[in-house]
């Protein structure tokens, strides 16, 4: 699952608005805002551009879920 809070943290640390980030990565302000809020997940292509922009791995934006134990 995508971690929108991580995106927001990186964007704010870079002193960028959602519109400024969108312009830099070829997206829309709406897509950035919805991704941060967890309403939408960015495409793999967009996630790659965001990761490259911030110099982080795409994995840094993923929330690891725990496996279901003893599922029957």
- pLDDT tens, the chain, 72 aa long: 889 999 999 999 999 999 999 999 999 999 999 999 999 999 999 999 999 999 999 999 998 766 666 555
The DSSP annotation for 27-56 comes to --HHHHHHHHHTS----HHHHHHHHHHHT-
Q: 40 near 47, Cβ under 8 Å?
A: no
Which residue segments constitute the domains of the chain, with CATH numbers given?
4-56 (1.10.260.40)
- Packed helices 44-54 and 18-25: angle between N→C axes, nearest 10 degrees: 110
CA 4 to chain centre: 5
pTM metric for this prediction: 0.85
Length of the chain: 72
Query: Cβ distance 25 to 58 under 8 Å?
Result: no
- Give the pLDDT score at 20: 98
In this prediction, residue 63 carries a pLDDT of 84
């Amino acid at each position: 699952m995508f971690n929108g809070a991580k995106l927001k943290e990186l964007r704010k640390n870079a002193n960028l608005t959602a519109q400024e980030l969108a312009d830099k990565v070829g997206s829309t302000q709406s897509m950035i805002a919805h991704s941060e809020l967890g309403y939408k997940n960015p495409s793999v292509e967009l996630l790659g551009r965001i990761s490259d922009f911030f110099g982080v791995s795409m994995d840094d934006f993923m929330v690891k879920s725990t496996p279901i134990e003893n599922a029957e």
